[in-house]
Structure 1
Amino acid sequence: MSKKLSINAAIDYLSNQQVIAYPTESIFGLGCDPDSEKAVKQLLELKKRDINKGLILIADNYQQLLPYIDDDGLSTEQKNMMFESWPGHVTWILPKNSATPYFITGQFDTIAVRVTAHPVVKALCHQYGKPIVSTSANLSGYAPCQTSEQVQQQFGQSFPILQGKLGNKTNPSQIRDSRNGQIIRY
């Protein structure tokens, strides 16, 4: 039986450097505290994902992302383009802050971030007071999980899953590059 988590229980898992699954706008995501190298490495191991690929951070608001990005490296035009799409289903590639750890950004000098409109994830990040890692809940090479049952099939019957329904999007978030506005993933 899966562990159906409330937001407070999910925060306990995150605070204890553990990985959880949670609903997003389109699929279930896997998340953890982005400041915990232990938790991020556990997430990468669970997914069988290469650390060099980097990860997305999902937040309640832009201010939660400031410790991880180089805000001064963004023009007003770039910020306006980004803010027009948020909160929403668009992930932006931004310049990273020099203190942002390699285990989040991988081989890149940028970081992928999103301010979500999904009410459950928004509430989780708001109450946790910071963003969380957001990557699709699936083993590398498998389709992203769209039900809690699929999460259990891939990660085990007792895997902790934040209660909530998926949003109405059919694809993972669009990814855009803030440097040129280019769409990297539709």
Structure 2
Amino acid sequence: MKDEFKTEIQETIKVLKRGGTILYPTDTVWGIGCDATNPDAIDKVFQLKKRSESKSLICLVSDFKMLNEYIENVPEVAYDILKYASKPTTIIYDDPIRVAENLIAEDNSLAIRVTKDKFCKELTRRFRRPLVSTSANISGQKTPESFSQISPEILKGVDYVVNLQQSKKSAKPSAIIKLSNDGKVKVVRK
């Protein structure tokens, strides 16, 4: 692992452990994140984005093992969807556990993406908790396509900006699929 990469992981974890917010490159767009188990940190994200708490946020986990730690019953079909997905795919699951209450949607569901991004995977693996991941913009504004398009308000509002991949263009936001425990499947965003 390169020293710069390792240093960024360590610095980011320090901020997350203190309940701070981060701006970081994900497998899709630049994201605002925090510890998904810390309600105060999640409140900071909602305030920074000027977003209603009734609108859900996405979480990132490192792998299927971590996914199973935060969702009571992962439907079997989820593994197949994620295994064969050709692009980053977020799944909304019923009955999340061990995350902050203010992260859980009113219908007792939570959107989680098993990240394939090297930095995000290593960060969540070493932090040992899921990360909130929401686009780096004020609610209602356009999602920035690159780091240079992120508003000064967001840049100043987070506690730490990850110093990696700042020249990278963002990909499209992830596909979102809702898998209910009753077997219903709904495509929310292609």
TM range (shorter): 0.7 to 0.9
Task: Check whether the contact 2:137–2:151 (CA below 8 A) recurs between aligned residues.
Answer: no
**Closer, same or farther: CA 57–87 of 1 in aligned 2, 3 Å:** farther
Matched pairs, number: 179
Residue 99 of structure 1 deviates from its aligned partner by 5.2
Matches within 5 A, 1:28-177: 28-71=30-73, 74-76=74-76, 78-85=77-84, 89-97=88-96, 100-151=99-150, 153-157=152-156, 159=158, 160-165=160-165, 170-177=171-178
1:111-130 CA deviation, whole Å, 9 max, x = no partner?
A: 11010111111111111112
Residue 85 of structure 1 deviates from its aligned partner by 4.2
Relative CO higher for 1 or 2, CA cutoff 8 Å, sep ≥ 6?
Answer: 1
SS at match of 1:67: helix
Which sections of structure 2, spanning at least 5 residues, go unmatched? 1-6
CA–CA separation in structure 1 for the residues paired with 2:52 and 2:109: 17
Task: Check whether the contact 1:51–1:103 (CA below 8 A) recurs between aligned residues.
Answer: yes
Aligned-residue Cα RMSD (Å) equals 2.4
Task: Check whether the contact 1:17–1:32 (CA below 8 A) recurs between aligned residues.
Answer: yes
CA–CA separation in structure 1 for the residues paired with 2:170 and 2:31: 14
1:86-144 CA deviation, whole Å, 9 max, x = no partner?
A: 79500001112355443001312111101011111111111111210111111011112
Q: Partner residue of 1:14?
A: 16
Q: TM-score, normalised by structure 2?
A: 0.82
**Closer, same or farther: CA 86–36 of 1 in aligned 2, 3 Å:** farther
1:38-78 CA deviation, whole Å, 9 max, x = no partner?
A: 1000110000111111211101112223332122xx443x2
**Closer, same or farther: CA 16–68 of 1 in aligned 2, 3 Å:** same
CA–CA separation in structure 2 for the residues paired with 1:12 and 1:170: 27
Q: Partner residue of 2:3?
A: none
Higher mean C-alpha deviation, range 44-53 or range 168-177: 168-177
Percent identical among aligned pairs is 25
**Closer, same or farther: CA 156–79 of 1 in aligned 2, 3 Å:** closer
SS at match of 2:112: strand
Higher mean C-alpha deviation, range 52-61 or range 147-156: 147-156
SS at match of 2:27: coil
CA–CA separation in structure 1 for the residues paired with 2:85 and 2:19: 28
SS at match of 1:176: strand
Q: Partner residue of 1:181?
A: 185
Which amino acid in 1 is paired with 2:185?
Answer: G
Which consecutive segments of 4 or more residues in structure 1 shift more than 4 A?
85-88, 166-169
